A and B are shown apart, each in its own frame.
Chain A
Amino acid sequence: MAYRLGVDVGGTFTDLFLVNDEDGTQHRVKTPSTPSDPSQGVLNGVARICETAGITPADLGNIMHGTTVATNAVLEGKGSRVGLITTQGFQQILHLARSQTPGPLAGWIIMQKPEPPATLADTREAVERMGPRGETVVPVDEKQVESIVKNLVESGVESLTVGLINSYISNKHEKQIGDIVERLYPGFPVTLSSDVVPEFREYERTLTACMNSFVRPKVQAYVDRLDDELKKGGATCDVNILRSDAGLMTTREAGRNPIYGVLSGPSGGVAGALAVSVRAGHPNILTFDMGGTSTDVALCENGEPTIGRDTTIGQFRLKVPSINVHTVGAGGGSIAHVPELTKALRVGPQSAGAEPGPAAYGKGGTEPTVTDANVVVGHLPPRLLGGEMTLDVEGSIKAVAKIGEAIGLDTEAAAEGMLAIVNENMAGALRLVSVQRGYDPRDFALVAFGGAGPLHANAVAELMGSFPVIVPPSPGLLCAIGDLVAEFRNEFAQTIVTPIEDVKPEDVASVLEDLGKRTRDWMTSEGIDESGQRITYLADMRYVLQGYEISVPVNMDDVKAGKLDGLGDTFDAMHEQLYGFKMDDAKQEIVNLRCIGNGAVPTMNFPSATPSANDGSNAIVEDHEVVFQGKKIPTKIYDRAKMTPGAKFDGPAIVTEFDSTTVVLPGYVAEMDEFYNILINPKA
């Protein structure tokens, strides 16, 4: 049972990565995704990879899985019918939302409001009221609640949510209503908002709980089917699902609280990038995952991702933790256009998607995409190695020429212009996760992956000053690797909202100890033995009356020794780093106490070889002419599969491999390290 399998389901491909923990051997498989029933693609892949490795599913010790079932259900609005029970007077809580319309002024004219996960027709008010200090103002009217529960269930809702005002401070009423449902309809899926997010702000909490109900039956059915089919195929191992914060959860947990995995996909990429970069000696990284229609970027410091308390998906802002991944709607398929009125060159947000795709794919696309611009300047060679695909260079030229005409530039200059604008958008996204949070991007390496990441990484790194650029082997498979190296993770929180001067250290200690116990119990129940359990304590703090909190690490020993002042100083320092000032005359308060549990998984060995200095010329497969800064420059094309650790060569250069292409710009030097990563640095 020494085999571990990472599985990442993307929009186009399902990637699998198998590792043997005993001898370190690895296998990889890419198989088409099956969007109508994603489990089919996974099962196909499992069969194929077992065959390649010469094992049977029974040999698999563990399967780690990143899935977009929940993501797609939310984005496409195709979840189950959710019934919502709210406090009397708040039936329209989801309908009113936060009442926001977009900017700028008059932005409401073009606003498209999304349908909430529970409709007004499926929302009922319960007679009850909890006060802001956990005191019952109006007790639950059990008779009335019974009638609304019956009414909802019998009207055909598939899943129920209970979201009451002030339930974050006391879940008594929500529990009571949950019990009524269980009594009337045993086993009916109910989500209590205080279970999913025991935190302040009723709209976000209720929305998140409803979204959980919305995706729950779908995810439950998916993981059940996957489990069943794998068992039928002889597998006996557990399947674990990746959470949005790059932790793992069991399928049981995923069936109950699937919303924690709503951004499972991007978090796998970040986990994979970290595993690679830490190994290569770069614990501070910016991740740059550029695909066909969108690009995800994130910042990781000291080998850890930054975890945010919110997750934005589509137009919804959910209160579940996720890696601070920022997504921009631009990728290889983004279409360039020139509005008549301003004659400005714009790239995106429209995308050619997978069908018809860029003109270069020869599938009927005629719009000028970023991929076409890459073809025109020669960053993408006409024949992609691995050989499946020949690009329609003429098609790309024709498409991009339209842009050139509109803006008054020749075709190559127009293509370079499109790339410059896309790169600038990417840099804007990277600035958002770095500079805007008080980090200097020059202290970070840039890890490039996804189909198009390595094409643009050098240019983007030049804008950011982030070096080296690290291009891991099989950049298209990094998410599956990330699934493999992720740890088990869960967190428990308690809202207290108390000024720090009124907080008794012993109370903090007792709340944290209770949270710690729940965290440990959870990990034990998930089969993680005590030696593998790692616990972190946090306090979400702010100045009194501020609306957003900063999570400050808590030293349990200090708290037990009655010391809390260190907390305030750390908060001041963090506030200063983030916003450039702290406030000496403002009170601080603790909003939530939080406990995070991480359960370790076995470490993974990456293939490596002792570098021996060489010029990489053995890997040169072709001479080519590529446009850089308006000039055609002779450029060598390298085959990455033939390259060996220690190879070092100057840009300009193009490195191709089975699922990606790396561009090294003039003035830069590339080197393959002992783990087969390509590192790009400015030439000294």
Chain B
Amino acid sequence: MATTTDELRIADIPTGVEIDPVTLDIIEGALKSARYEMDAVLFRSAMSPVIREQHDEFPMITDPRGRMVVGQFGAYINEMMEDWDQGIYEGDVILCADPFKCSGSISHTNDWLVLVPIFHSGELVGWSSQFGHMMDVGGRLPGSLPTNAKTIYDEGLIIPPIKVVQRGEIQKPVLDLILNNMRNAAMNRADLFALVAGCRAGEKRVQELCDRFGKEIYLAACQALLDRTHAAMKQLIHWAIPETPQTFEDYVDDDGLGNGPFKMKLTIWREGDHAFFDWTGTDPQAMGPVNFYLSEGMFKMFIGIYLIMVNDPQILFNDGFYPLLHIILPEGCLLRPRFPSALGCRTHALARLFDVLGGALCKQAPEINTAAGYGTSPYMLYSGWGEKGDFFFAMEILYGGIPGRPIGDGMDGHSWWPLFENIPTEYLETYYPLRVDGYTTITDSGGPGLHRGGNGVEKRYIYLEPGQVSIHDDRWLTRPWGVLGGLPGGRSEKILKRADGTEERLPSKCDEVQVEPGDMLVYRTAGGGGWKDRLDRPVEAVQKDVSYGLVSAAYAKEGYGVVISADGSVDAAATESERAKQREERGEPQAFDYGPPLAEVLANCLAETGLEPPTPAVPLRWSPLESGEDAQKRVREADGMSPEMVKTW
């Protein structure tokens, strides 16, 4: 924190305090429980289904220096408080919804981030923080996520870090100003206070730990937990990341304005204990809102989680290993857009980032190598005025095919995002003028593999009142890839069936689609890619999928070489020869199977999808693309390394 008032005393991290291993483990356990308690408090009291039913929220507890000791997405306090000059007192609550003012810790204006300083005997001992996705934050369209936004000013209220509670007292004028801009102020208020209640739970637990063990021990334990993760990660980095660079690339299909596809390219290498993650080669930022302002801290956390997941999954996720990772993001690229870029629909690039990261890491670490999944967060938004003139606004996040995994098949129609849930049909139909005609998974949309990719989801909405519909989705053009002999999963599509019987294809990102009573939207999401050789999948597993209706008999033959007779039994002889034939034709399985090459995909786009192909992106006049070399120099300098060491590949 650059500026604080005289009154703020920040507790020192004690050095040389002996802390016995058991106390350390106990504090670790208590902090983990506190983090889950923060979630539990929020879910039970939040009002928006996106937080409550779908769990789009993230908690965190930090040490006095703002380093995350427990949480999910990494610390952002220091970036956020850099220019802070309003003092920090016990009982304060700070709200922020400006991605550019917190180095991308939140990545669009819909995420409201709440920060509560934790004091013990007059000293700041840490921060408790939580952010959650608000259904609406004002602006031009309900949901505040226009797919054709050109700057962040199209995306609702931009809230810089500001106190909504000072010394325990609610700052009514501030809150009134904010809520006055919201379509459903009561819901924003409820969700805000639910976030605060969650943070308070974290605050209370930390204070109790300070009471119980003494502040010194508690703070020394936080440091030791950071050190422990640091040491563990050092080993993991050596094990997982080679000195010779590895590269992987994949695409976000379009930006809602007809530009795309946008390449995301990652190169990783190691120098001693240090690992470099270089996004040079990634396409320039988009005019439309698919830019993802990637926080370096958040990306380090993603890397850590991927590496930790397979080793000691009980390791506390914290910031301890951050100094070992170096993230190179050229200014003006899709992942480091300049202010005031539109950011609302960053979820596609966020999801793709994991595909790319997994792909880049996997050559060295086959154990964590999965295929690609549905690769986004598909939204359906529907709003309008009901018969009695009452405004309604429904928003639902859909899911799709989970990738084929080392442990088994990808789940059909499940959430790639942790702990998200679907919204019950009975909830939707009670509160909104729509009927769900069906909710199922799409036969044959999972990529064949030894472990099959999950099927995508089909949800059919029948609208009962006139209104406007928005759609956010991706993977309508490029396919979720398969690995090591697995095939790609199916692509997404949207069909609007009008009450009069006519049909139209809708783009994967669109707004203000006028619907009338009786119109039906068929919303189909992408499947997951297959894992390892599809021709090795046990015939019983294929037969079971066919009997469950998850794979058709025709695709059993085409995708797995398994011949199923009309009565559902397996024709063993025909299967054997079919598999032999396909093996022969295919040859050695590919490491990654993206389906046809991009040029072919684009050439066939209109014929296959009914939609015009997007046009390649060029740098925006007001946001030139920084060279990879300059970006790397900048990062090496900032991270205290010699800028002359720059490596280009």
Contact = CB atoms under 8 A, between A and B. Distances in A.
A104 interface: yes
B202 to A, nearest CB: 12
A545 B49 contact: yes
Interface stretch (A49-57, A92-100, A556-564, A663-671): A92-100
A139 B311 CA distance: 55
Interface stretch (B1-9, B36-44, B117-125): B36-44
Contacts of B431: 545
Interface stretch (B249-257, B323-331, B432-440, B467-475): B432-440
Contact of B438 (A90, A201, A579): A90
Contact of A165 (B43, B405, B426): B426
Contacts of A202: 424-426
B549 interface: yes
Given A99-B420, A104-B317, A545 B415 contact: no
A618 interface: no
Nearest to B568: A121
A436 B407 contact: no
A337 to B, nearest CB: 10
B52 A91 contact: no
A193 B172 CA distance: 47
Contacts of A431: 33, 37
A101 B415 contact: yes
B21 interface: yes
Given A88-B438, A105-B418, A421 B25 contact: yes
A97 B421 CA distance: 9
B391 interface: no
Contacts of B430: 132, 200, 497
Interface stretch (B301-309, B478-486, B510-518, B594-602): B301-309
Interface in A518-549: 543, 545-548
B438 A581 contact: no
A103 B45 contact: no
Contact of B441 (A92, A201, A342): A92
Interface stretch (A110-118, A273-281, A451-459, A620-628): A110-118
A586 B189 CA distance: 10
Contacts of B426: 132, 165-166, 168, 200-202
A102 interface: yes
B399 interface: yes
Interface string B8-51: 00000000000001101110111001000100110111111100
A169 to B, nearest CB: 8
B312 interface: yes
A473 B415 CA distance: 50
A107 to B, nearest CB: 5
A101 B416 contact: yes
Contacts of B72: 103-105
B14 to A, nearest CB: 21
B414 interface: yes
A409 B437 contact: no
Interface string A421-449: 10011001001100010000000000000
A579 B186 contact: no
B526 to A, nearest CB: 15
A218 to B, nearest CB: 24
Given A95-B441, A100-B421, 16 more contacts: A97-B414, A101-B419, A103-B72, A107-B418, A113-B411, A129-B435, A132-B429, A165-B425, A345-B22, A421-B29, A545-B431, A546-B190, A579-B44, A579-B197, A583-B190, A585-B186
26 contacts: A91-B440, A96-B439, A96-B440, A96-B457, A101-B417, A106-B418, A108-B402, A109-B407, A110-B309, A112-B408, A121-B548, A165-B429, A202-B426, A341-B311, A344-B25, A344-B28, A345-B25, A428-B30, A545-B47, A545-B431, A546-B45, A579-B194, A580-B200, A581-B45, A581-B197, A585-B186
Interface of B: 21-22, 24-26, 28-30, 33, 37, 40-41, 43-49, 52-53, 72, 186-187, 189-190, 193-194, 196-197, 200-201, 228-229, 231-232, 235-236, 302, 305-306, 309-315, 317, 354, 368, 370, 399, 402, 405-408, 411-422, 424-427, 429-431, 435-441, 457, 460, 547-550
Interface of A: 88-93, 95-113, 119-121, 129, 131-132, 137, 165-166, 168, 200-203, 339, 341-346, 407-409, 416-417, 420-421, 424-425, 428, 431-432, 436, 497, 543, 545-548, 575, 578-581, 583, 585-586
